[in-house]
Amino acid sequence: MPKQNKDTDGYQRLMCPAEAGKVQCPLKPRSLGRGIHLPLVDPEPNPTGPFRVCKQRSITVAPDVGAKHWQALEYGDQQWQKVYFRLRNSVEGYNGYAKNPLAEAIEASGTRRIRGIAAQTILLVFQLAHANRRKIKNWVETLALNGERPRRRTHHRRRTKPLGIWTPTGYLAPTG
């Protein structure tokens, strides 16, 4: 838990959550019994003993500590969810595109009949490169270049029958 804001050099004082009254911890007996609304943490045993923050009230953390785990968006907030789910849908959509059994079929290992994980990986890379090329080619065909019409429509919708001729047993034959 942050105890103070970062100083000019980027160092920050952090406090143990049990000291701040946010959790109950058996390593901090004063935190126990403060209320059932506080979660009880169970610190994992460590061969070197408890963490430094568990032995004292607060610690100073250098700016480079945890830098590789830094994220631009706070995990779980609204903006993070918006970005995450859009990217997740994109990735899952591409996985389905590359698994198409009529194209690359990356899910079927029978399309890569060779032994060894290294050889399988190299062939899978070629299959994914082909899927990328196919996706880019399809996208380019939807563009109107040099004032011409696109060679392909961006979406294909099937024609639906008018609702006026539908009955619970099926569609009525057109009359007249």
Reported confidence tier of residue 153, pLDDT bands at 50, 70, 90: low
Angle at 105 between CA 103 and CA 108, to 5 degrees: 155
Question: Do residue 57 and residue 108 come from a single domain?
Answer: no
Question: Do residue 2 and residue 47 come from a single domain?
Answer: yes
Q: How far is it, in rounded angstroms, from Cα 25 to Cα 17?
A: 9
Residue 28 within any structural domain of the chain = yes
- The pTM for the full model equals 0.48
Residue 164 within any structural domain of the chain = no
Single-letter code of the amino acid located at 80: W
Q: Which residue pairs from 146-150 have beta carbons closer than 8 angstroms and sit at least 24 positions apart in sequence?
A: none
- Pull the structure tokens for residue 42: 């169970």
Q: Count the domains in the chain.
A: 2
Its domain, for residue 20, covers 1-64
Q: How far is it, in rounded angstroms, from Cα 155 to Cα 122?
A: 33
Question: Do residue 49 and residue 95 come from a single domain?
Answer: no
Last residue of a domain, one of 41, 64, 87: 64
CB-based contact 108:100 (threshold 8 Å): no
- Pull the structure tokens for residue 9: 């050099």
Percent of the chain's residues with pLDDT above 90: 26
Question: Do residue 116 and residue 94 come from a single domain?
Answer: yes
Question: Do residue 1 and residue 59 come from a single domain?
Answer: yes
Last residue of a domain, one of 33, 64, 95: 64
Q: How far is it, in rounded angstroms, from Cα 106 to Cα 100?
A: 8
Asked if the model's pLDDT at residue 84 lies above 60, the reply is: yes
Residue 84 within any structural domain of the chain = yes
Question: Do residue 5 and residue 53 come from a single domain?
Answer: yes
Reported confidence tier of residue 161, pLDDT bands at 50, 70, 90: low
- Pull the structure tokens for residue 168: 């619970």
Burial of 104 (0-12, 13-18, 19+ CB in 10 A): buried
Q: Which residue pairs from 63-69 have beta carbons closer than 8 angstroms and sit at least 24 positions apart in sequence?
A: 63/6, 63/9, 63/10, 63/11, 63/12
Question: Do residue 87 and residue 115 come from a single domain?
Answer: yes
Asked if the model's pLDDT at residue 77 lies above 80, the reply is: yes
Question: Do residue 8 and residue 52 come from a single domain?
Answer: yes
Residues 125-143 pLDDT 10s: 999 999 999 999 988 888 8
Three-state DSSP class for residue 59: strand
